[in-house]
Amino acid sequence: MKKSPLFLIAILFTALGTAIATRMNDMQAFPIIMNFIMMPLFFLSGSLFPLQGLPKGLATVINWNPLSYGMDALRGLLSGVYHYSFMFDTLVIVFATVIILIISTLLFRNIEA
């Protein structure tokens, strides 16, 4: 049985938010920065449009977006149609999550109290 990648997507973006928050001096700007990052990731994830038939430049950007693989896995689980394979989607999400978690952990350790 295939498991939902929602948990991995949630951990990935929680770690990304933690990594960004550790580098900020003013927490009032945090929501602005997160929206500045999250909205393009969402729009370029393929959640609003199909990933087939895109221009080469846009396809390259989408292929570097880890949320694209999470959305493809979710879409595939719901409809049975994958752009990539479920295993590849899962591997990319796991890899991105581990990398961002490591970065976030290292940055969080270096916070001055």
Average pLDDT over every residue of 85-106: 94
Q: Please name which of 15, 57, 52 lies closest in space to residue 37, comparing C-alpha atoms.
A: 15
Question: What average pLDDT does this structure show over 67-89?
Answer: 91
Q: What is the pLDDT of residue 34?
A: 86
pLDDT at 92 over 80: yes
Query: Rounded to two decimals, what is the model's pTM?
Result: 0.85
Q: Count CB-CB contacts under 10 A for residue 31.
A: 10
**How many domains does the chain fold into?**
1
Range of the domain at 84: 32-109
Assess if residue 9 is contained within a domain.
no
Mean pLDDT of the chain: 89
pLDDT digits (tens, 9 = 90+) for 24-49: 888 888 888 888 998 999 999 888 88
